[in-house]
Amino acid sequence: MGRLSGKVAIITGAARGMGASHARLFVEQGARVVLTDLNVAGGEALAKELGDNAMFVAHDVTKPESWETVVAKAVAAYGTIDILVNNAGILGPMAPTAELDNDGYDLVCAVNQHSVFYGMKAVLPVMVKAARGSIVNISSIAGMAANYGFPSLAYVASKFAVRGMTKATAMEYGKHNIRVNSVHPGFIQTPMMVEATDEVGGEALAQIPLGRIAQPIEVSNVVLFLASDESSYVTGAEHLVDAGMLAH
């Protein structure tokens, strides 16, 4: 019996990186998973590989109407939604505040922050009806502190916001048996990180008590716990997966 047997999950940004890792683990643990992404080719290929318990829906998380389509397709295919993982995100332009262009700022906030509102708003009616649910919002260490070498006010603003939005919604929906938590990864080996930095070494590694970057599965294991009934008394909380970076 899998740790997510009988559950239905939506995972955004599931075509690659951590989202793909979460999707693989969720299916392995018995969930039926709706993978969503802008990247149609990547998302469809992964859903096919994962078999009968996975489907892909093309999705732009910044568009509320796109969320309506995802929720309608998930409910039509699998009957309900137990879990939402708001994972899609972008690093966006990295520039000091005075040089950050307005469009870049708006885009980062739309993808990383506004999407979390649209997503929670879209799935909550289904979860309230079922009187259960777990929402996992992916923030970052940049949602806890601003000094980790990424000079982008936009990224930090969006990830701090996700942390607060998580707590606000957890407070409101606890009475419906719906839990909402945020996850704060440190340095994780994904295409996003590889595209942003040629390699993480020297100074950056010295900031990490465990002395290494993580593989996506090391975050997926925490997301799995929060998605599952094993975390039944855990809500409104921040979960660092940062090898101790913020412990100083």
Strands (E), the chain: 8-12, 32-37, 54-58, 83-86, 133-138, 178-185, 238-241
Which residues on adjacent β-strands are paired with residue 196? Answer: none
6: left (phi > 0), else alpha (psi -120 to 50), else beta? left
**Where in the sequence numbering do the catalytic residues fall?**
155
16, 73, 167, 176: residue in contact with ligand NAD (rule CB under 6 A): 16
Q: What is the size of the binding site for ligand NAD (CB under 6 A)? A: 28
Smallest gap from residue 112 Cβ to ligand NAD (A): 6
22, 31, 71, 87: residue in contact with ligand NAD (rule CB under 6 A): 87
Cα 126 off chain centre by: 19
Nearer of residues 127 and 138 to ligand NAD, judged by Cβ: 138
177: left (phi > 0), else alpha (psi -120 to 50), else beta? left
Nearer of residues 78 and 148 to ligand NAD, judged by Cβ: 148
Query: Using CB under 6 A as the criterion, what x/- string covers residues 175-214 for binding ligand NAD?
Result: ----------x-xx-xxxx---------------------
Is 137 a binder of ligand NAD (CB under 6 A)? no
Kindly give, in sequence order, each residue whose CB lies less than 8 Å from that of residue 183, ignoring residues fewer than 6 positions away.
Answer: 136, 137, 138, 139, 219, 222, 223, 226, 239, 241
Residue 37 dihedral angles phi and psi, to the nearest 5°: -175, 160
Q: Taking the chain, what is the end-to-end CA distance rounded to the nearest angstrom?
A: 40
Smallest gap from residue 242 Cβ to ligand NAD (A): 8
3, 38, 44, 197: residue in contact with ligand NAD (rule CB under 6 A): 38
Nearer of residues 177 and 189 to ligand NAD, judged by Cβ: 189
Is 138 a binder of ligand NAD (CB under 6 A)? yes
Is 17 a binder of ligand NAD (CB under 6 A)? yes
How many whole angstroms separate alpha carbon 142 and alpha carbon 54?
31
Smallest gap from residue 6 Cβ to ligand NAD (A): 26
Q: Which residues of this protein are in contact with ligand NAD, per CB under 6 A?
A: 12-13, 15-19, 37-39, 59-62, 87-90, 111, 138, 140, 185, 187-188, 190-193
